[in-house]
């Protein structure tokens, strides 16, 4: 069994995360779906690094992790601001975009 199996696993996790983003109305849950997708990508990166016996993949995964952390900070701040303004964090509520 090669590390390629982990890449397949990453693909499945990525799809699950995407489905969560599309399906869940709760902004925090949808956000967790995004996190899952990021982590799936990380898994693939680490798997590739293992296959090629190079450290660069791991470094890349490390950077993704840092960026994800920053993203979480800002994203959660936005959710809080949204909650303050609307008393809800449902993604279906902010329907001002409706034409």
Partner 1 sequence: MVNEVLFWTVALLTVIPSLALIFAKRPVHIAMSIVLVMVGLAAAYVGMGAPFLGMVQIVVYTGAVMMMFLFVLMLVGVDNAEDLRETIKGQKWIAFAAAGGLAILLIAVIGDATIEPRTGDVVGNPEEIAMVLFSEYVLVMEVLGFLLITAAVGALVLTHVPRLTPRRTQVELQAARVAAGADPVNKPMPGVYARHNALDVPALDPEGNPIEDSVSRVLEVRHQTQDGAEFRAQLEDTDNPDHEARPHGAPSRDSDTRNTREGEEPK
Partner 2 sequence: MQSLIWLAIAIPLASAAFLLLAGKRADAWGHWVGVVASSAAFLVGAGALLEMLGQDAANRATTVTLWEFIPGSDLSVSAGLLLDPLSITFVMLITFVGTLIHLYSVAYMEHDVARRRFFAYLNLFIAAMLLLVLADSYLLLFFGWEGVGLASYLLIGFWNFKDEYATAANKAFVVNRIGDIGLIIAMGMIFAAFGSLDFATVFAQAPEASTATLTGIGLALLLAACGKSAQFPLQSWLGDAMAGPTPVSALIHAATMVTAGVYLIVRSAPIYNGAPDAQLVVAVVGAITLLLGAFIGMAKDDIKKALAASTMSQIGYMMLAAGLGPIGYAFAIFHLVTHGFFKAGMFLGAGSVMHAMNDTVNMRRFGALRGVMVITWVTFGLGWLAILGVPPFSGYWSKDKIIEAAFVGEGWQPWVLGGAALVGAGMTAFYMSRLFFMTFHGKARWEDDMHPHESSALMTVPMMILAVGSAFLGLFLATGDKFTHFLEPVTGHAEHHDPVISIPVIIGLTLALVAVGTVLAWMRYGRADVPVEAPAGSLGTITARNDFFQDSVNRAVFQRPGQHLTRTLVYADATIVDGAVNKQARGWARLGEASRKLQTGQARSYAATMLVGVIVIALIIVVGGL
State both tokens at 39: 């982590």
Rounded Cα gap, residues 34 and 52, in angstroms: 27
Q: DSSP character for 97?
A: G
List the beta bridge partners of residue 5.
Answer: none
Would you say 24 or 94 has its CB closer to partner 1?
24
Residues in region 22-81 near partner 2 by CB under 8 A = 22-23, 25, 30
At its nearest, how many Å lie between partner 2 and the CB of residue 27? 9
- Which of the listed partners (partner 2, partner 1, none) does 78 bind, with a CB threshold of 5 to 8 Å by partner kind? partner 1
Asked whether position 1 contacts partner 2 by CB under 8 A, the answer is no
In 3D space, the residue among 38, 41, 53 whose CA is nearest the CA of residue 6 turns out to be 41
Rounded Cα gap, residues 52 and 76, in angstroms: 36
Asked whether position 74 contacts partner 1 by CB under 8 A, the answer is yes
Residues that bind partner 2 (CB under 8 A): 18, 21-23, 25, 30, 91-92, 94-99
């Amino acid at each position: 069994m090669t590390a390629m199996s982990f890449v397949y696993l990453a693909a499945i996790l990525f799809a699950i995360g995407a489905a969560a983003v599309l399906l869940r109305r709760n902004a925090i849950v949808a956000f967790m779906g995004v996190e899952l997708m990021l982590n799936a990508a990380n898994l693939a990166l680490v798997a590739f690094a293992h296959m090629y016996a190079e450290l660069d993949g791991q470094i890349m995964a490390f950077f993704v992790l840092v960026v994800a952390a920053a993203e979480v900070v800002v994203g959660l701040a936005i959710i809080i601001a949204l909650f303050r303004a609307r008393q809800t964090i449902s993604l279906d509520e902010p329907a001002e975009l409706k034409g």
